[in-house]
């Protein structure tokens, strides 16, 4: 049976994780860290957390274990149509206004930053596909990124348990979801026409990143709550470098940009437009 993690090892790992990917690991997270790392210790046949910590900071471990460490400690809570007012604003205001400005002159570019297991970007595909039914020349694509490689693999498959679907409107369930032929499995899959609209990619916010084209809409919801305030502001400023003039940034209901001088105009709760 594993003993408790030594405070020194917790401090080393928590500092390292925050430096590498921005995620805060205060002392209150020690029990969570121990629980989440148990699987890694079993996979590596290690008997205690101290040996694991030493391995992480060894030359071999630094090269091979970092993705597994981050996968284990990153949080991936999400659902379809989470915080629905954002999608209502898109449908009622943002998309019609964007269409008036740009029409079919170019694609709408949307970034789901911190996409977790894919529910957010697939929700976006449904919303955009519905809009396209009214404007057939409307073109769009979605970039979906996360630091966790395991959830990205699941997201790319687009397969979910049926009990995850309650928040998807019935009309969209009929159009965009396929049930498993084996009904005992109670699984659904997002239709290929929507899966093909999303580019999944691993991205660490703490590392330099760039895109071929600026984004029109950036969804970064309930991600920054895990970062210190100065890291949040630095990240938002980096987002703005990749956002079109008039582009929109959408954050989570528990997040705030109050006190940050960013050149953004709030147009709805937790919805901001680049000035």
Which CATH number does the domain housing residue 22 bear? 1.10.155.10
> Looking at the domain assignment, is residue 174 inside a domain?
no
Find the domain containing 216 and state its range.
85-158+196-274
Tell me: do 92 and 216 sit in the same domain.
yes
Tell me: do 35 and 152 sit in the same domain.
no
67, pLDDT greater than 90:
no
Tell me: do 112 and 221 sit in the same domain.
yes
Annotated catalytic residue within 36, 154, 189, 234: 36
Annotated catalytic residue within 9, 71, 146, 216: 146
Q: How many domains does the chain have?
A: 2
Strand pairing partners for 160? 188
> Looking at the domain assignment, is residue 249 inside a domain?
yes
> Looking at the domain assignment, is residue 167 inside a domain?
no
> Looking at the domain assignment, is residue 59 inside a domain?
yes
- Going 215 to 220 to 224 to 229, the CA torsion angle's sign is positive
241, pLDDT greater than 90:
yes
Between the CA of residue 33 and those of 76, 134, 165, what are the distances in Å? 15, 48, 30
> What DSSP state is assigned to residue 93?
I
Q: How many DSSP H helices and E strands does the chain contain? A: 12, 10
pTM score, two decimals?
0.88
> What DSSP state is assigned to residue 4?
P
261 is catalytic: no
Stretch 146-152: mean pLDDT:
92
Tell me: do 14 and 135 sit in the same domain.
no
Mean per-residue pLDDT of the chain: 92
pLDDT of residue 71: 85
From 34, 53, 73, the end of a domain falls on 73
36 is catalytic: yes
> Looking at the domain assignment, is residue 80 inside a domain?
no
pLDDT of residue 212: 86
224, pLDDT greater than 80:
yes
In this structure, are strands 215-220 and 187-190 parallel, antiparallel, or unpaired? Answer: unpaired
pLDDT of residue 1: 62
pLDDT of residue 21: 86
Contact 242, 232 (CB under 8 A): no
């Amino acid at each position: 049976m594993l003993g408790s993690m030594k405070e020194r090892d917790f401090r080393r790992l928590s500092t390292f994780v925050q430096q590498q990917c921005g995620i805060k690991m205060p002392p209150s997270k020690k029990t969570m860290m121990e629980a989440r790392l148990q699987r890694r210790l079993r996979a590596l046949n290690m008997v205690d957390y101290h040996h694991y910590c030493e391995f992480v900071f060894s030359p071999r471990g630094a090269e091979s274990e970092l993705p597994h460490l981050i996968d284990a400690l990153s949080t991936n809570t999400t659902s379809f149509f989470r915080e629905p007012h954002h999608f209502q604003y898109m449908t009622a205001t943002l998309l019609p206004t964007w269409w008036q400005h740009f029409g079919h002159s170019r694609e709408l570019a949307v970034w789901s930053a911190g996409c977790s297991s894919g529910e957010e970007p697939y929700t976006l595909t449904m919303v955009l596909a519905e809009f396209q039914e009214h404007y057939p020349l409307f073109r769009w694509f979605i970039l979906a990124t996360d630091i966790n490689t395991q959830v990205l693999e699941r997201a790319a498959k687009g397969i979910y348990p049926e009990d995850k679907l309650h928040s998807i409107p019935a009309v969209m369930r009929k159009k965009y979801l396929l049930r498993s032929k084996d009904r005992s499995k109670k699984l659904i899959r997002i239709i290929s026409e929507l899966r093909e609209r999303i580019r999944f990619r691993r991205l660490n916010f703490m590392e330099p990143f760039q895109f071929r084209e600026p984004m029109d809409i950036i969804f970064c919801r309930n991600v920054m709550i895990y970062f210190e305030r100065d890291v949040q502001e630095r990240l938002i400023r980096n987002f703005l470098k990749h956002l079109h003039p008039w582009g929109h940034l959408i954050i989570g209901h528990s997040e705030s940009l109050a006190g940050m001088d960013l050149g953004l105009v709030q147009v709805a709760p937790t919805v901001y437009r680049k000035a």
